[in-house]
Structure 1
Amino acid sequence: MKNIKKYFQKSLQRQFAGLLGGFIILFFFGSAILGTYNQLITREYERLKLTLDKKEECAERLNEQFTQAFFDARGYFAFGRKEFKQSFYAQREVVQDSIKQLKLIGNEPEDEVFIEEAELFFSYYFDDLAKNAILAFENGDNEAVVLASENGGTAAIERFQNQLAQYHQSIENQIDTAYDDLKKREMISRLFYVAFILFILLILMFILRTMGRKIGKPLNEVASAAEKFSQDEKVINWKFATGRKDEIGTLSRAFEKMIYSIQEKEEHLVAQNEELQAQQDELEYQQDELESLLEKMKLREKQLEHRNQFIHGISNSLDKHEVLNSIVKSMALVMNAVRGMIVLVNDRQTYASFGLSEHGVKQFIQFIDNGIHQRLFEEKEPFTFKRELSPPEKGFHEENLFSYDIFLPVLSAKQEVEAIMVFSRFGKAFTADEMEEYKSLTKQISISLQKIHLFEESEKDRRMTQDILNNIQEGIQLVDKQGSSLMINSQMTKLLTEQQSGTHLASYESWRNQLLKQVEEPKELEAFLDNVLFQEEDQSKSITYHLKDKRKVIQVYAEALFHGSKQLGTIFVHRDITKEFEVDQMKSEFVSTVSHELRTPLSSVLGFTELMLNKELKPERQQKYLMTIYQEAKRLTSLINDFLDVQRMESGRQTYDKRYEDIVPIIQSVIDTQKVNAPNHQIVVEKETDWTIVLGDRDKLSQVFTNLISNAIKYSPNGGDIKVRLYEQEGNLKVDVADEGLGIPKEALPNLFTKFYRVDNSDRRRIGGTGLGLAIVKEIMKAHDGKVNVTSEEKVGSTFTLMFPLITLETYREVEIDTDGMNVAVIEDDINLAALLSHELSESGFQVHHFKNGKDALKSMKNEKPDAVVLDIMLEEGGMSGWDILKKMKEDPAFTSIPIIISSALEEREKGITLGATDYLVKPYQPSQLSKIILHILLKQEKSGEILIPMPDEEENEDE
């Protein structure tokens, strides 16, 4: 025990750690007890809450299941639909399972009572009441069903629902009671916790107070002694806690020794300090002398820096304005002037100023030939004069101040004044030495101005030469004897993309390699360049090469450049002959293609005609030969028509008979025709929009789709799917014609719609064609305010996309018909559906009249004849059905012309159309579909002289 006490006495840290450790143990022990208590009461509540939640969930599920069974039974009795009966018996099994689940968790007396009641009601309702009622209903005895409901069936259901609600309420009450009990326990736990915290705080305060007494008192004694010592008091019976064994005792003993040691050495230090003070005074005197010399040296260094800057400014640029600005600023720094300017005598609009207003500069230039400036032209020497500052120059100063102005002439090599400089300095006159120095600087300025003048003249000549070269359409390059590039024009820079037009030095290897990288056959061009530059024998001075990426054909020729008899270099001229090359190639290909395309059918016609003339043939063989001759003649006619179409389109004589057409039937007609020639292909139409109407010429549109679909068949010789997709995108109707064929090379895509253009590929050459089909497609689409684009990948397939302006329902209405004043009669007994249809038709501009039965409708229509009738088949019981109304209207001459659209849940379209209905809609359908159909029917009546296409969704309705 003594060892432990001694262990803690030697260290304050150990004492504090021991007290704090006991405090922490006590705090955690108490907190653990309170935390365990809180967990116990929370877990108990959660277990009870989980049980009650399960009971509540079972009760709610029973309520929903019984309610669903009641509605299924009533639905079956009301509508007679078998799915309600099947759902009712399915609910019986579900209810029985729910009662079993409640039995497993119900352990309270009131749970057992409710379960017993639920089982009794289950047996009564499903096995007795509902079973007998369904049997009676199926036997047609509706009175027995009503009697069963009146004789206690409904009362029993309501009584059980009340019991179920009471049971559900009792569960919720138990949950609330358990929650209130939990809150009470938690409140008690919080009170205990607060009391525990207060107890802990009291213990902590005791620990801090104890440690404060042990540490604070001796430290205060040490601090008091240090303060007295700092005030030069002598050590007289000062008390320190030197008897303690801890850190405070060690500190007190050390502090006591330190005080005695400092007092012993104080006198020695005072003597040394006096000696050092004397040395410091001497050093300060020497420092003042060094600072004076340093200031002079900095001033001289600054002057040299300004002059170096002046020389650098006038020699570092060839831009006249930049040099003049540099001269003015540098001279102002050298002179320590506050303002100044320089003006060229022969070009007085060229000047630079520093610290002057624009008005002052213009005033000086205006009077440069008279007054004091004239002295410069006569004496050609600098001069100065003193003047008193004007009030605006003096600013806030009130005393008399003076300005010293210096005028400096800049003389040319012919000793003529070519520039004048003027500077002003306040408060200090210019010395004779400064005047000589500034005069020498003007000579440097004169040399710089002469250099700029020579540069401007040569630059002017160079720009003129470069402008002439840049306006030449050929690429021109001047090289020296070693092949280094000296000058190129803008056309040549398009070939040498890393260089710029103008004077540009590039080595022969650099520009040659850059050019050869773009050429298809670089070795031939490299040999030509080497021969021209480095071989003396007379060889070919021109060559033609092809560029890989730009698909261009370039002809280059070379000429040597001489000055007298001395060769200075060589000029290369690169001329773009792509168009001439393509025209020659196209002519030869066109002649070859046309001869092949025309000779093939002509050979067949001549051959079969000769057979028929020279041989006796059977009638069936004659018929076969005649059919072949007919087909080949049609092929020739199609080729000739293509040539004529292209000619008419180019001359602007092509005419179009445009109407509103649905392109779906046009596409389907083309597909039906092309299927004969495509036994290995499956052509599919994917319609992703209902708005397939365009304003166009039906025959020309058919020609477009014929060319694209026939190309898709021809260029997929191995078969595969051909998809025609119709969709809307970005306010346009788009049609994709996609195949799984050979594909198109990337480099051929830009020229694909050019006349007579055919892809240079052996696989495609064997297929044949004139190269006019896609050119015709492009022209027809352009005439229809549309576009045609293509995307392709070799060996995967191609997709041609046609883009037409989208014709919407609103556009069609505006163009074709005005619905204002048109009446539509809606005969429908369902009030909600009738209101929905009436709203949709009113939004479309129609006046709508609603009738619930046929008798009222027929009577009203005799007084006010409608433009269209929307008719439901199943109307109110005891009255006329929709079939009766349809027959009466078709028998009455006054109603025969009125279009009737049947709107019914019955799928009897064939019967409705047979009895005279114009169209038939099966519920449910979108109300907007009804507006479209009525508009289309009225359009047909109004434009009976034209062949109109069906509105969107009509084909879908026919399928239904």
Structure 2
Amino acid sequence: MTNYFKRTLNRQFTFLLLVVSLVIVLVGGVLAVYGMSIQSSYQAERERKLEKQEIVFEIDSHAKQMLIRARGYFAFQNNEELNALYREIDALNVYIERFSSLDLSAEELALLTEIKTTIHLYQTIHLPEALSLVSNNELDRLSAYANSGASDTVNQLIENTSNYVLTISEKAAEISSSYTQKVSILVSLFVIFLGVVLLILFIVLYKMIKQIGKPIQDVTVAAAELAIGKDVSLKSHQREDEIGVLSRTFLDMVEIIQQKEDEMTQQNIELKTQQEELEHKQDQLIKSLHETEEMQNVLLKYNSLNHAISVTLNKEDLFDELLTHLSDIYPVDKMLLFLTEETFYRSRGIYDKHVTQLLNHFDQGIGLILREKNNYHLVEREVTDVERGLAEGVLTAYDLYIPIYSSGGELRAVFATNRVGKPFLQTEINELSGVMNHMSIAIEKVLMHEETEKERQLNQDIIDNVNEAIQFVDNEGHLLQFNQSFCQLIECEQKAQLKAPFSMWFQALEHVVGGNEAVASFYNEALKQDNSSVLSMNYEIHTKQKRIFKVYAEPVYHGYNKVGTIFVHRDITKQHEVEQMKSELVSTVSHELRTPLSSILGFTELMLHRKLKPEKQEKYLKTIHKEANRLTNLINDFLDLQRMESGGQMYTNESLDIRDLISEVLTRFEAYSEKHTLHFINLAEKTIIQGDSERIQQVITNIISNAIKFSPNGGDITTTLASNSTSLFVSVKDDGLGIPENEMKNLFRKFYRIDNSDRKKIGGTGLGLPICKEIVEAHNGTISVESKENEGSTFIIELPLNDCSQTLKAEGDSPKTILLLEDDQSLALLLAEELKNYGFNVEHFSNPATAITFVDTMASHLNSTHSPPLDAMVVDIMLGDELTGWDFIHKIKANNLWSDLPIFISSALDETEQLTRHSEIESYLTKPYPPSELSKTIIKTLNQDKTRGEILIPKRKSEI
């Protein structure tokens, strides 16, 4: 056999390559089998641990529920709780049987024995005994029996199962760590294997070169010597391969060189061919080395991928990491990873609209296929125009869908990828499926983390939206939990103060309560108490404004152990103010009612029991009448306030001139305010509003009354009327006591009176201004005040103007023009100002002749332009001239151009005789009369669709 391989170099080289390749395959196979064994062992061991952990967790959960249901039944004797207790025991026994059927360690067998023994004792001894005590209503014995340790065994069981769950979790982590170490060892072995392979290849190449190169070099030297005619010093080799044959042949050839030249040339060509073959095989070895290095890089990338998906707890980062690593490992065109139970995905190379289309039809398309196959799904199709790009001819696209299942076997997510022109190899599919198996664990871990975080944030949001400030403090005084209201109370930064010790967070609270030692004592007592009673106390905080809080403290127990104390701070500032206000109201009302009643009763008794002179009787009766009116006004204020608050206050809606109303109120006050000087300044162009005359008068009266009342030393009371395009402003200014700045915000509160000795002497119920505010706001207005203490006050009322009553219907925007014929200059000025306030242009004349000349001029202008220069005339009948007002009227009516012009008569006499001669006159008004009545009559007449040349005297309503 040895001679067989020694005969040719080809056989020798082939034999060496076969041996090297066999070694590589065997060692590589061993490493691959070892790797798969590691992975299989890891998955099997992990599944066993998870199954045991799940069953023991269920045992722990049902044991807890068993105790809760038992205590619920013992506390309330509710049969539903008892039935639930038996169901929990049945479920507990089922899971115990499942646990006992598993392959258990000695420690787990001991735990199983303890569980069975504990449940058996509880089910057969403790529970029947407790049920018997409950049925006999022996609750004291039941409590004693429970305290004697009847439930301690189950509590110990729950503690042991909880510890076992934690132990299982730790072992699972140890298994994962061991698996990672073994993978690292495998990679190291593979690297060593590559080094050994390279060393063997180097040795083989060196040996081949030595066995071939040296003889060839000897032949070359001999050939060179032969070429230059030297003696050939080539030794004959006794080898049986080509080198030996070559040397012997070369020596023979030297002897017959001339005859065998063609043969030598052919042999030379054969040698070159063999050299090229050696070079080709060398290139193949180099290529194999590159492939090995690429495989090593892939393994490193896989290791990086496993690490990334193992430590990431953020869903977005997890998906991005997976796609990033896979795009480095696999040459694909598109990738998509999405969850099936929610709209969340990450993609590479895919438009969002295409992803949305896939997700919308997933359950009827790919999702249905994956659920039926329970395996990956590969689609082979013709490429679309978008995917084709610059390629021509037939081109195929391959779509691969790999499902990702949860531990419960539900389809949780899907990985989809696409490649054009190159199909997916089965090895690639298997590798991707393995990666997705690891991904399923990572997804479950991330989703569980997100759910836990959502629940924690929800609990925090709930307590943050409670108005009361809440804090939970453990037995050592650490601040474990609190809401935003508490943080605002002590002016802290929430994240910085969480889990702060008592000294740190209480220092902030102590600062806002002004170092109140009672608060510190309350907290110390609450943290030390060991019973379920609720403690409370009131305290004040001194920040921007004074506020009053009531704090409640109640201990929190977990089982029989106190775990901390919850404190609730409730703001009772408004309640405290209401209590104070009620007390002040009772005192004020008592004083305000008793004072006039005392006067009425006193003067009445004097009149009943004494004989008085008529003048004294009249004086006493006036006093009684004044005090009765005072008492009536007080009662009316209460009734008005009650009607306004209940929505029962009714208001009339009429057009009224507030200027006349203010004049009337000021006239009444001038009679008894001897120390005060009342002024009225009218700066308003428009004074008509819409509202209830009586209620507006009540507001004005109250404001002026207050100005007089709170100016005890007298002074000027100035009422000013002003307007703009939409609103009317009434301001009342006094030189009285003024209002402190800190009292301004409370001025319009019901029953509120400034706490000042000067004002206490003046008296009052604190209802006047709130009633004024209600009335003004009911008229769509506002009331405000400007004041400085000891410098007086100014109350400002803003009311909307009644534009409809102050404007005329007109075809265009040009104002109406009125001719006024009046020889009394004062009255003419008053009437002109009144008409101008209503938007009229006024042409005034004091004698008829001048007026007739003006009218004739206007008539000629009308004939040439056809634009009417006048709209109406106001004529005084009694004029100090040769012509009377009637003469002027007759002159005007004689001209057909003015036949339809309405004429309004202003007269100081009763013109009954003249009225009988003018059938078109319907009514008249003798002087003096309110100018506003004239304006209203003119507006009403001109707003008609068509005038008919009436001669009108405004209807009389009242006198000024």
TM-score, reference length from structure 2: 0.51
SS of equivalent to 1:532: helix
SS of equivalent to 1:567: strand
CA offset at residue 772 of structure 1? 1.2
CA contact (8 A) 2:379 2:400 kept: no
| TM-superposition CA deviations, 1:549-578 (whole Å, max 9, x none) | 566543221212221133333222233445
Structure 2: how far apart are the matches of 1:389 and 1:704? 88
2:775 equivalent to 1:770:
no
Structure 2: how far apart are the matches of 1:745 and 1:821? 51
CA offset at residue 606 of structure 1? 2.7
CA offset at residue 773 of structure 1? 0.7
Distance 1:754 1:901, change over 3 A: same
Match of residue 724 from structure 1: 719
Q: Show the 5 A alignment for 1:619-768.
A: 620-674=615-669, 678=673, 680-729=675-724, 731-746=726-741, 748-768=743-763
CA offset at residue 777 of structure 1? 0.9
2:580 equivalent to 1:569:
no
CA contact (8 A) 1:310 1:327 kept: no
CA contact (8 A) 2:905 2:952 kept: no
SS of equivalent to 2:323: helix
Q: Show the 5 A alignment for 1:215-614.
A: 315=311, 318=314, 320=315, 323-344=318-339, 347=341, 350-356=344-350, 357-358=354-355, 359-360=357-358, 366-368=364-366, 377=375, 390=383, 392=385, 393-398=387-392, 410=404, 418-425=412-419, 442=436, 445-462=439-456, 465=459, 469=463, 474-489=468-483, 495=489, 524-533=518-527, 541-546=535-540, 549=544, 553-614=548-609
Match of residue 883 from structure 2: 885
Letter in 2 for 1:450: E
CA contact (8 A) 2:673 2:708 kept: yes
Q: 2:800 aligns with which of 793, 801, 805?
A: 805
Match of residue 946 from structure 1: 957
CA contact (8 A) 1:686 1:723 kept: yes
Any unmatched runs of 5+ in structure 2?
Answer: 1-288, 824-831, 858-870, 894-902, 909-924, 943-950
2:893 equivalent to 1:899:
no
CA contact (8 A) 1:479 1:570 kept: yes
CA offset at residue 481 of structure 1? 4.0
Letter in 2 for 1:767: I
CA offset at residue 609 of structure 1? 3.5
CA contact (8 A) 2:876 2:885 kept: no
Letter in 2 for 1:884: E
Structure 1: how far apart are the matches of 2:391 and 2:873? 101
Letter in 1 for 2:526: V
Letter in 2 for 1:899: I
Distance 1:826 1:475, change over 3 A: same
Structure 1: how far apart are the matches of 2:803 and 2:411? 82
Letter in 1 for 2:731: D
Structure 2: how far apart are the matches of 1:302 and 1:712? 94
Letter in 1 for 2:552: Y
Distance 1:744 1:622, change over 3 A: same
Structure 2: how far apart are the matches of 1:887 and 1:398? 110
CA offset at residue 733 of structure 1? 0.2
CA offset at residue 313 of structure 1? 8.0
Match of residue 236 from structure 1: none
SS of equivalent to 1:690: coil
CA offset at residue 528 of structure 1? 3.2
CA offset at residue 603 of structure 1? 2.1
CA contact (8 A) 2:656 2:693 kept: yes
| TM-superposition CA deviations, 1:289-313 (whole Å, max 9, x none) | xxxx99x999999998998699668
CA offset at residue 642 of structure 1? 1.6
Letter in 2 for 1:455: H
CA contact (8 A) 1:854 1:882 kept: no
Q: CA RMSD in A?
A: 6.0
Distance 1:699 1:400, change over 3 A: closer
Structure 1: how far apart are the matches of 2:665 and 2:932? 28
Letter in 2 for 1:451: K
| TM-superposition CA deviations, 1:874-929 (whole Å, max 9, x none) | xxxxxxx962223775999x99x962599xxxxxxxxxxxxx99799xxxxxxx99
Distance 1:689 1:668, change over 3 A: same
Structure 2: how far apart are the matches of 1:719 and 1:854? 51
CA offset at residue 703 of structure 1? 1.8
Structure 2: how far apart are the matches of 1:724 and 1:311? 85
CA contact (8 A) 1:731 1:806 kept: yes
CA contact (8 A) 1:681 1:722 kept: yes
TM-score, reference length from structure 1: 0.51
SS of equivalent to 1:602: helix
Structure 1: how far apart are the matches of 2:838 and 2:579? 67
Letter in 1 for 2:390: F
Letter in 2 for 1:421: F
| TM-superposition CA deviations, 1:615-670 (whole Å, max 9, x none) | 55555555444433332222112212222222333444544455443333433443
> Which region of structure 1 is more displaced relative to structure 2, 563-572 or 491-500?
491-500
> Which region of structure 1 is more displaced relative to structure 2, 762-771 or 324-333?
324-333
CA offset at residue 736 of structure 1? 1.7
CA offset at residue 770 of structure 1? 0.9
CA offset at residue 397 of structure 1? 0.8
Structure 2: how far apart are the matches of 1:930 and 1:466? 70
Q: Show the 5 A alignment for 1:850-861.
A: none
- How many residues align? The count is 609
Structure 2: how far apart are the matches of 1:772 and 1:586? 13
Distance 1:628 1:385, change over 3 A: closer
Structure 2: how far apart are the matches of 1:518 and 1:867? 75
CA contact (8 A) 1:404 1:428 kept: yes
SS of equivalent to 1:558: strand
CA contact (8 A) 1:742 1:795 kept: yes
Letter in 1 for 2:389: G
| TM-superposition CA deviations, 1:818-844 (whole Å, max 9, x none) | x9999968799xxxxxxx99x999995
Match of residue 221 from structure 1: none
SS of equivalent to 2:636: helix
| TM-superposition CA deviations, 1:24-73 (whole Å, max 9, x none) | xxxxxxxxxxxxxxxxxxxxxxxxxxxxxxxxxxxxxxxxxxxxxxxxxx
CA contact (8 A) 2:807 2:839 kept: no
SS of equivalent to 2:884: helix
SS of equivalent to 2:883: helix
Structure 2: how far apart are the matches of 1:749 and 1:473? 28
Distance 1:858 1:469, change over 3 A: closer
Letter in 2 for 1:732: S
Any unmatched runs of 5+ in structure 1?
Answer: 1-292, 378-382, 829-835, 861-865, 874-880, 903-915, 921-927, 950-960
Structure 2: how far apart are the matches of 1:341 and 1:424? 9
